[in-house]
Homo-oligomer: A and B are copies of this chain.
Amino acid sequence: MHSHSAKSEQIKSFIAMDILEAAQELRKQGRDVISFGLGEPDFQPPQCVQEACIRAIRENKTKYTHSQGLIELREAIAEHYLLKYKAHVNPDQIIVTPGTSPAFLLIFATLLEQNTEVILPNPHYPCDANFVEFFDGQVRELAIQESEDFQWNIDKVKELISEKTRALFMTSPSNPTGTVIKNEILKKLSLLGVPIVSDEIYHGLVYDGEEHSALEFSDLNFVVNGFSKAYAMTGYRLGYVISPQKFIRPMQKIQQNFIISASQFIQEAGIAALKEAGPDLERMRGEFKKRRDFMLSGLKKLGFPIHYTPQGAFYIFVKSDHLSKSSFDLSFDILNKANVAVTPGIDFGSRGEGYLRFSYATSIDRIEEGLQRIKTYIEAIS
């Protein structure tokens, strides 16, 4: 038999998934494992979304759609970006995808080839580097650090830009840090002549100040967004890319070949989300804010040295090298001894070593119980 392609060998797995599977194994054995590991809201999707989806199924909206997505959904997305960010988007600039992950396939297949580069922060969401390398691009890592609130340093970015640079790849609010990139930094980055690929999937989950879209500052930027996080619609698999017009046709061809279209009735649910789910979003955002405050102060009380404020998403990136130099060993030890799942920082790049990522996508009660278990764990190993 033939061997696998080098590409498929090299693509990295996601340690968070390994932890998740180990946690599931422990649960099967009857253990009560608390998950601070997951990037998935514990809420149910808004009622109006569920009902719209059911209605669409009953109306037999079960056919292929235009490969870019239903025009009504694209118009609603354009309106959302106009109302929230004052960004003018033509529905023709949008391609609707089954989740945001395939949107990165479209973008990076179109932007990258041999001898191209993408600037990515370290630490970063592990798939981000995989997307780039899968399409033969090279990642140039921008060091970000807690002492600078995990913000992007413009001068350092400038040093990394070369003829080969095809994009600055940013997620704000960030996974794993929860940092919201400052407005003036986003603006300056937009003027460097290199498009930003702006992953805005955690927009709507910001607890201090306001998030801004990369589209406010340059229409050469790409935006990826969707419904999984703020709308708690992970299992719907619905996302989209907003792109400069000139890249739409090549991306659309890739979509026609490898995706065809997103599900019709799920796209209908997306329309309802944008038009009707505002109050649900506010309710969930309010709850996440409470959880963030609770977990942040709880972790500090346990002696974790946290010197920044995660303003969005549902993650806190927590220095923990006083407990173990290996974040991988530490997270498996905490899982096994304290029955709490957390994600090792090393999963997010070399500069994540010595950190743990805590997710607060679970209830206050569970957060309280989880923190208590970690307290006991720390006391036992000290």
A residues lining the B interface (CB < 8 Å)? 1-2, 4-9, 11-14, 17, 40, 44-45, 50, 53-54, 57-58, 60-65, 67, 98-99, 101-102, 104-105, 109-113, 116, 127, 130-131, 134-135, 166, 195, 220, 232-237, 244, 246-247, 250-251, 253-254, 256-266
Contacts and interface: CB of A to CB of B under 8 A. Distances in A.
B40 A256 contact: no
Contact of A4 (B1, B12, B67, B250): B250
24 contacts: A4-B111, A5-B111, A5-B112, A5-B113, A7-B109, A7-B113, A11-B253, A11-B254, A12-B253, A13-B256, A40-B64, A54-B54, A64-B234, A64-B235, A98-B259, A99-B260, A101-B257, A101-B259, A101-B260, A105-B105, A130-B257, A134-B257, A235-B264, A263-B266
B13 A235 contact: no
A182 B164 CA distance: 52
B250 A8 contact: yes
A260 B237 contact: yes
A44 to B, nearest CB: 5
A17 B235 CA distance: 29
A233 B264 CA distance: 11
Contact of A127 (B131, B257, B264): B257
A22 to B, nearest CB: 14
A113 B332 CA distance: 36
Given A5-B135, A266-B263, A14 B256 contact: yes
Nearest to A164: B2
A220 B1 contact: yes
B8 A258 contact: no
A271 B252 CA distance: 31
A221 to B, nearest CB: 12
A252 to B, nearest CB: 8
A253 B127 CA distance: 10
B253 A237 contact: no
Contact of A251 (B8, B14, B17, B65): B8
A262 to B, nearest CB: 7
Nearest to A244: B1
A263 B235 contact: yes
A5 B263 contact: no
Contacts of A45: 60, 62
Contacts of A116: 5
Contacts of A11: 250, 253-254, 257
A49 to B, nearest CB: 9
B112 A250 contact: no
Contacts of A12: 253
In the A-B complex, list the 6 residue pairs whose CB atoms are closest, starting with the nearest: A8-B250, A235-B264, A62-B235, A8-B110, A5-B113, A98-B98
